[in-house]
Amino acid sequence: MKGFELVHPASLREAIAMLDTGDPSVRAFSGGTALMLMMKTGVFRPSRLVCLAGTETSRAAIAAKPDGALTIGALATLTGVEYSLDVIRFAPVIARAMKRLANVRVRNVARIGGSLAHGDPHMDLPPVLAALGAEVSIEGPKGQRRVAVENLYSGYYETVLTQGELIAAVHRDLKLTIILIEHRMDLVMAICPRLVVLNFGTKLTEGTQQEVQSNPAVLQAYLGAEYANVAGQ
């Protein structure tokens, strides 16, 4: 393996300056789980790795607003996301997807920023986050921008990130979701934290997953009166 420089910036701004060289073999290093594999096999030979671990600690934070909007810092580990009470409450499908992603050792070190920036088409998180309408905030030499996860990829292992740009956070703003009672309730509930339940055009109820699930009118419309009576006993 050819030698390379490993640098430790103390802030995101400093990291961006160290990455902004015009040389594609200068790369950010989050958890290193994907980079190490590529380096071991000789697919990637860096001239410089810019370690993001020492950039501001707030970059690993996970925050939720009362309406369910989520912000996950790019440096949050996949384990941190998996066990975040805010993620479990407002976007449980992300926590569930983690259980099948790689293994505990990888999830303990891999970061959500690296997981999205890697661009391997086999990866689990990009389609889940795209289905949730999530966006990434990107910071780079020319400032900040936001890109929907579904528009982040331009090809095989390729993203729309330009040299020097870093994913700073993942955002999932809450969008009110309307579902029809005759559709797959269990699947939709796994994705949407707040629901309006319609029964063939008539509004039955509105609320969180728990409120909707425990509403007898929903139970009756979904399962039929006879079954709902038995379930309610």
Ligand X SMILES: Cc1cc2nc3c(=O)[nH]c(=O)nc-3n(C[C@H](O)[C@H](O)[C@H](O)COP(=O)(O)OP(=O)(O)OC[C@H]3O[C@@H](n4cnc5c(N)ncnc54)[C@H](O)[C@@H]3O)c2cc1C
| Shortest reach from residue 76's CB to ligand X, in Å | 10
Q: What part of residues 180-209 is at the interface with ligand X (CB under 6 A)?
A: none
Closest residue (Cβ) to ligand X? 114
DSSP class of residue 21? S
Selected from 166, 179, 189, 219, the binder of ligand X by CB under 6 A is 166
Does 153 sit near ligand X (CB under 6 A)? no
In the complex with ligand X, the residue whose CB is nearer, 68 or 80, is: 80
Selected from 16, 18, 26, 35, the binder of ligand X by CB under 6 A is 35
Does 220 sit near ligand X (CB under 6 A)? no
Closest CA to 177 of 137, 141, 131, 127: 131
CA distance 21 to 40: 24
Q: 104: number of CA atoms within 13 Å, CB side?
A: 1
CA 20 to chain centre: 25
* Exposure class string for 147-175: b at 16+ Cβ within 10 A, else e: bebeebbeeeeebebeebbbbbbbbbebe
> Do the Cβ atoms of 163 and 49 come closer than 8 Å?
no
Does 161 sit near ligand X (CB under 6 A)? yes
- Pick the stretch among 109-117, 144-152, 177-185, 218-226 that binds ligand X (CB under 6 A): 109-117
CA distance 106 to 91: 22
Does 9 sit near ligand X (CB under 6 A)? no
Which residues lie near ligand X (CB under 6 A)?
Answer: 27-35, 37, 52, 74, 101-102, 106, 110-111, 113-115, 117-118, 123-125, 161, 166-167
